[in-house]
Structure 1
Amino acid sequence: MSLTIEHLLDIEEIKQAKYLYSHYYDGGEVDKAVDLFTEDAVCEFGPRYGDWVGRDQIHEKYSGIWANNRANGGLPYEVLHAFTNPHIVLTGPETAQGWWYLLEFTTRAGAESPPRIFGVYRDDYRKVGGRWKIARMRVDFLWPIRAFKGEEAV
């Protein structure tokens, strides 16, 4: 398939949604982060965090993480999720898949080791109401604990 300008604009919008997810989540703006998901979205976060189904449960889980974080003195942007090496494939007029590397760091003062987690995200996207949203988000953890199912990128 040859890419058109419209395809490239869709790919860029998907990238922006992923970058906004990181910015909103790391900044503690849970409502804005969750708004980037479809109503029926699924998050597959492995043995450590489990699977979350539907935007309501996703909101509940992220809100719980942030409430716990704040209760322990956590501040916005003390953890940074850097998504790199995006590979986006449009699978239909309103569907796409994406693969990303995750580099997660702590910025908390006094941290002995700023790197926290490395992994690979595998996402599905769907256009809803003219906006690209996250329909499925899955992370395979590579370090410090390896929990890798693997899926080939197209």
Structure 2
Amino acid sequence: MNLEQRIARLEALEAVRLLKHRYLNACDLKDVETIRACFAEGPITIDYGPVGTFQERDSFVALYQSLACNERVIDLHHGANPELEHLVDDEVAGRWALYYFNVDAESGATRQLGGVYQDRYRRIDGQWKIVETVFRAHSMVVGASTSS
């Protein structure tokens, strides 16, 4: 592999890292359009276990918007420990650990979740997009609400 190919590979891996961070930050900010833009158009796979499985981005975004986009829901997504593998020029596979913290601002109830994303990314028209994401939770702690 020559220097130009190595640099292109590093740039691709960094673009995927930034894409995943943009997605997680958009979830915390309730930025629905940025969430949508992180995923490829057309047939994709979003499998979030008990939350649901989706074959295209718009049905996932609609569910996200109905569940999370209100003042009561405060979310914090922390993606860590990425293991990214450059498969071919325009495709990357990734594994991410997730620490998720959620607060119900009205009741004070909390939820902490740990798990792993298994993702696939593809460069489409020069832009990296998520084409497959599977999340599996490994642990969950639920705190009681503070309201009576």
Calculate the aligned-residue CA RMSD, in Å: 2.2
Stretch deviating more after TM superposition (24-33 or 50-59): 50-59
- How far apart, CA to CA, are the structure 2 residues paired with 1:80 and 1:16? 17
C-alpha distance after superposition, 1:106-151 (max 9, x if no partner):
35668465x6100010001011110110001111110128xxxxxx
Aligned residues: 137
Q: Which amino acid aligns with 2:44?
A: A
Secondary structure in 2 matching 1:35: helix
Deviation at 1:26, TM superposition (A): 1.0
Which ranges in structure 1 are unaligned for 5 or more consecutive residues? 146-154
Aligned to 1:43: 46
Which ranges in structure 2 are unaligned for 5 or more consecutive residues? 142-148
Deviation at 1:44, TM superposition (A): 0.4
Distance 1:112 1:28, change over 3 A: closer
Q: What TM-score comes out, normalization by structure 1 length?
A: 0.80
Secondary structure in 2 matching 1:144: strand
Distance 1:80 1:8, change over 3 A: same
- How far apart, CA to CA, are the structure 1 residues paired with 2:89 and 2:127? 12
Question: Segments of 4+ in structure 1 off by > 6 A?
Answer: none
- How far apart, CA to CA, are the structure 1 residues paired with 2:104 and 2:58? 30
- How far apart, CA to CA, are the structure 2 residues paired with 1:127 and 1:83? 21
Deviation at 1:81, TM superposition (A): 0.7
Q: Which amino acid aligns with 1:99?
A: R
**Structure 1 segment 8-87 matched on structure 2, within 5 A:** 8-39=10-41, 40-46=43-49, 48-67=50-69, 70=70, 73-74=71-72, 78-87=74-83
Q: What TM-score comes out, normalization by structure 2 length?
A: 0.83
Stretch deviating more after TM superposition (51-60 or 7-16): 51-60
Over the matched positions of the two proteins, sequence identity in percent amounts to 25
Secondary structure in 2 matching 1:38: coil
- How far apart, CA to CA, are the structure 1 residues paired with 2:104 and 2:68? 15
- How far apart, CA to CA, are the structure 2 residues paired with 1:64 and 1:41? 21
